[in-house]
Amino acid sequence: MPDTPDTAAASRARRTPPWADETPTALLVLGDGTVIEGRGAGAFGAAVGEVCFNTSMAGYQEILTDPSYTGQIITFTFPHIGNVGTNIEDIETSNLAASSGVRGCVLRAPITEPSNWRAAQDFDAWLKARGIIAIAGVDTRALTALIREKGMPNAVIAHAEDGVFDRDALKREAANWHGMVGLDLAREVTCGQSYTWDETAWEWGKGYGRQEAPRFEVVAVDFGLKRNILRELATVGCRVTVVPATTSAEEVLARKPDGVFISNGPGDPAATGAYAVPEIKKFIESGVPVFGICLGHQMMGRALGAETSKMHQGHHGANHPVKDFTTQKVEITSMNHGFAVDRESLPEHVDETHVSLFDKSNCGLKVKDAPVFSVQYHPEASPGPQDSHYLFERFVELMEKRKG
C-alpha cells in the first residue's frame, strides 16, 4: 500500500480501492514519494510529467490531443471517461507527425465499451495506439484536493501488465524530474514545415466545410496549434498559412499577411519566449493586426514588458467564468494553462481586457495604440457554448480596418 502520506488529502487519494485484492497493474508515483495504485489502461511503460486536473465533463479526446498538455499527466475529475469512444474528427493536434504530448491520464472508473454513434475506436485501444499511459481506480476527487492544497506535483505514471515495478526507481525519477519551469516544449509539437489551411467549423448535417472565398491572409505561428482555432479563423474568412515556431518575423511579414496569429502551446513562456518574444515585438511594431491565445497571450505579455509566473494549480477545464471589460459581459470559457501573465506588471500602454472570476488572474490584454490583443483562454472551444467566438470577429475587424 502507499508509502509516505503527510496530508489528509494524500491519505484519501491512496485509500483502498474496490479491487484491492488484485495485483495493481499501474502506479502513480508522486515526487514526495506517495504511491497511488490502480488498474492500468492504454500503453505499457512509464512516463514522467506534471500532474494537473481537468474539470471538463466532456471532450476527453480533444483534451488528450491538445498540444498544450505536453509534459503533463491529466487527472479527470469527471468519473466516467471513455464511454463515448474516440473518432478521427475530434483530434485537436494539428501536427499529426508529432508524438502525443500528454504523458498520461488518471481515471476514477475503468474504461467501458463505447456507446455513441460517432465512436470509431475503443478508448483503451486509442490510448495504446497513441502511446498514452492511463491508470484507473483512483480516487480522483482526493487527488484533486491534494493538487489544490499542495500544487501540481511532479510524478511518474507506470503501467505493467504483470504488476511488477521498481518502486524505488520510480520514486527517484519522480523526485528528480526538473518540472515545467524553464522548459521550451513548443519545439516538440510545432509543425516541421509551413502549410495552408482552409477547413471551416463543423456544422450539423454538413460536417466540416471549406473556405473557398477568403477575404484575409493570416499567418499563424505554431507553438502547439489546435485544429479548431484554424477552423474558426477559416470560418470568419481567413486563408491561414501555418509556420513553425522558430520562423522569423521577417519571413512571416514577407508573406504580406493581413494579420498574424500567435498560437497556444505548452511549456514555460519565458523559455519559449527566449526566441519567440523578439519576433513578436517585430510583429507588434509592424502595424499588422496580431492576435494571441494561451501561450501566445503569455508571450505577447512578455513582449509588451509584462512578467509571467507559474501558477499554483493552473486552470484546466471548461467551466471558467471570465469577464470582458470591453463588453461588461461574463463568458464561460475553456482553459488550459499553468503559467499566467502577472496583471500588476502590465505596462501603461497595455489595457487589461479580461479577468478570471475564479482568482482574478489576467485573461486578456490589448495595446492602446496598436491593433494587438490576446486572451489566456480558448475561444475556439465551446463550453458556453460559443460565448467567446466573437474574438475571431474582433480580429477580422482589425484586419478590415487596416485594409480599408
Q: What's the pLDDT at 2? A: 46
CATH of the domain at 61: 3.50.30.20
Position 126 in a domain: yes
Residues 257 and 116 in one domain: no
> What number is the average pLDDT over the span 267-285?
98
Active site residue 380: yes
How many whole angstroms separate alpha carbon 239 and alpha carbon 241? 7
Residues 160 and 210 in one domain: no
**Does the structure show a pLDDT above 60 at 15?**
no
pLDDT at 14 over 60: no
Q: Is 142 contained in some domain?
A: yes
In a domain, 371, yes or no: yes
What pLDDT score was predicted for residue 22? Answer: 81
DSSP character at residue 305: T
Q: Determine which one of 159, 316, 337, 378 is catalytic.
A: 378
Residue 5 has a pLDDT of 46
Residues 221, 126 share a domain: no
Region 85-109: mean pLDDT is: 87
Q: Helix 227-235 crosses helix 390-403 at what angle (to 10 degrees)?
A: 50
Residue 316 appears among annotated catalytic residues: no
105, 238, 294, 363: which is the annotated catalytic residue?
294
- Residue where a domain terminates, one of 157, 176, 195: 176
Same domain, 172 and 217: no
Find, among 106, 127, 81, 102, the residue nearest to 17 by Cα: 106
Residue 232's Cβ-count burial label (10 Å; 0-12, 13-18, 19+) is: buried
Tens-digit pLDDT profile for residues 111-155: 999 999 999 999 999 999 999 999 999 999 999 999 999 999 999
Q: Is residue 54 part of a domain?
A: yes
Q: DSSP letters along 144-201, please?
A: HHHHHHH---EEEEEE-TT----HHHHHHHHHH---STT---HHHHS-SS-EEE-EEE
> What confidence tens digit (pLDDT) does each residue in 172-215 have?
999 999 999 999 999 999 999 999 999 999 888 898 999 999 99
Distance CA 216, CA 104 (A): 39
Look up the CATH number of the domain holding residue 226.
3.40.50.880
Whether residues 242 and 201 fall in one domain? yes
Share of the chain above pLDDT 70, in %: 93
**Residue 212, pLDDT score:** 95
Is the full-model pTM beyond 0.75?
A: yes
Residues 206 and 324 in one domain: yes
Q: Are residues 68 and 208 in the same domain?
A: no
Q: Which domain holds residue 172?
A: 8-176
**Backbone φ/ψ region at 270: left (φ over 0), alpha (ψ -120 to 50), beta:** alpha
* Residue 304 within any structural domain of the chain: yes
Total domains present in the chain: 2
Distance, CA of 247 to CA of 77 (rounded, Å):
38
Residue 168 clears pLDDT 70, i.e. is over it: yes
Residues 157 and 226 in one domain: no
| CA 213 – CA 401 distance, rounded (Å) | 19
Q: Is residue 12 part of a domain?
A: yes
Residue 389 reports pLDDT greater than 60: yes
Among candidate residues 37, 92, 173, 380, the one labeled active-site is: 380
Average pLDDT of the segment spanning 246-265: 98
One domain, residues 389 and 254:
yes
SS3 (DSSP) at 325: coil
- Is 294 part of the annotated catalytic residue set? yes
Q: What is the DSSP string of 218-274?
A: EEEEESS-BHHHHHHHHHTTEEEEEEETT--HHHHHTT--SEEEE----S-HHHHHH
Q: Taking all residues of the chain, what is their mean pLDDT, rounded to a whole number?
A: 94
Residues 190 and 171 in one domain: no
The reply to whether 199 and 135 lie within a common domain is: no
Q: Which of 120, 155, 176 is the last residue of a domain?
A: 176
**Quick one: average pLDDT of 50-54?**
98
The pLDDT, as a whole number, for residue 16 is: 56
Average pLDDT over residues 27-54: 98
**4 alpha-carbon distance from chain centroid:** 31
CB-based contact 294:378 (threshold 8 Å): yes
Of the three residues 176, 201, 236, the one that is the final residue of a domain is: 176
The pLDDT tens digits for 332-368 are 999 999 999 999 999 999 999 999 999 999 999 999 9
225 and 373 share one domain: yes
Question: What does the pLDDT read at residue 68?
Answer: 96
- pLDDT over 50 (residue 386): yes
Within-domain flag for 2: no
In a domain, 3, yes or no: no
